[in-house]
Amino acid sequence: MAAIHAAAFAGGEAWNAAIMAAQLSLPGTFGLIDESGGMILARAVADEAEILTLAVDPAARRRGLGRELVREAARIAVARGAARLLLEVSAANQPARALYAGLGFVQAGRRRRYYVNGSDALILALKLTAFAAESL
């Protein structure tokens, strides 16, 4: 997971193996890895779920891998009782914003100057109750 994350994120934004392990040790947290170069960490607690991070190796992008990882994480969140899926994405990350918009996420908030590069984080939300697990 850390290797995929390092390939996907430049500078000080990549999570190392210790950070990944710490996140996975938290209650409700789960991770998925796709051998072709994608990973996602998410957490489902009570009726809410959150995507903690999603990364796709640049060599594996534009093949639908990120979309499938989000869809599978959403299915797991629904199975664990979540009604809403949240995430934060850089306002400057147009490809990720397009991915999430295509999946039905809507903006629920903003965190000013959240990221290392000074960009804002958009808080996006997806109501999982509006979808059957198979329709995501």
Full residue range of the structural domain in which residue 78 is found: 2-135
Tally of structural domains, the chain: 1
**pLDDT tens readout for residues 48-88:** 999 999 999 999 999 999 999 999 999 999 999 999 999 99
Asked if pLDDT for residue 93 goes beyond 50, the answer is: yes
User: In this predicted structure, what is the pLDDT of residue 133?
Assistant: 47
Mean pLDDT of 21-42: 96
CATH label of the domain that carries residue 64: 3.40.630.30
Q: Please tell me what DSSP assigns to residue 55.
A: E
Per mean pLDDT, which range of 12-16, 51-55, 99-103, 117-121 is the poorest?
12-16
* Cα–Cα distance for residue pair 12/57, rounded to 1 Å: 16
Of 18, 22, 14, 11, the residue nearest 39 (C-alpha): 14
User: In this predicted structure, what is the pLDDT of residue 136?
Assistant: 55
Angle at 64 between CA 44 and CA 125, to 5 degrees: 35
Quick check: 38 and 55 in contact, CB under 8 A? Answer: yes
What is the three-class DSSP state of 127? strand
User: In this predicted structure, what is the pLDDT of residue 94?
Assistant: 94
Of 128, 133, 120, 119, the residue nearest 51 (C-alpha): 128
Asked if pLDDT for residue 134 goes beyond 70, the answer is: no
